[in-house]
Amino acid sequence: MSSSSLVCALSGNPIASSEEAVVTPSGRICTKSLLLSKLADNGGSDPFTKQPLEEDQLISLSLNKAAVIPPRLSTTSMPALLELLNTEYSNLVLELFDTRQLLEETRKELSQALYQNDAAVRVVARLSQERDVAPPEVANWETK
């Protein structure tokens, strides 16, 4: 577990205490190595604001390497931990149920769209066939 509570704005990952954290002029906190590689890719422009950005404009942050994140109070006892796991499991099952319902609804919509597309193709084919048959029939009517 990381001893830092800072999150890199580029990667979304926590910044480890072994990495150097910097702040951009726009106020974003990033890992220095990742930000410098992004600056090299972008031709020296800030990846967030697209403004020119030099390495000397970055403000270095010092992280307390001895800091330890305390455990959540809700996980300090076995019953609390079991309750937390049960809650997480229930949330996961509910999310899975909602996802399956959404999948079924999407399948029905796709089936309906495919049915409508098939019907439209059949109508176009029938009209094309009627169009091809119509000129000879009109010519027969005119000769009679």
Mean pLDDT of 5-25: 83
Q: In the chain, which ranges are E strands?
A: 21-23, 29-31, 59-61
Contact 38, 50 (CB under 8 A): no
For residue 3, the model assigns a pLDDT of 45
For residue 1, the model assigns a pLDDT of 40
Taking the C-alpha atoms of residue 49 and residue 28, their distance in angstroms, rounded to an integer, is 10
Q: Residue type at 2?
A: S
For residue 129, the model assigns a pLDDT of 94
pLDDT per residue as tens digits for the range 87-131: 889 989 999 999 999 999 999 999 999 999 999 999 999 999 999
First to last CA, the chain: 93
For residue 112, the model assigns a pLDDT of 97
pLDDT per residue as tens digits for the range 58-97: 888 876 655 555 666 666 788 888 888 898 899 899 999 9
What confidence category does residue 19 fall into, taking pLDDT thresholds of 50, 70 and 90?
Answer: confident
Is pLDDT at 132 greater than 80 in this prediction? yes
Mean pLDDT of 22-26: 90
- Tokens (6 digits) for 29: 């906190």
For residue 73, the model assigns a pLDDT of 66
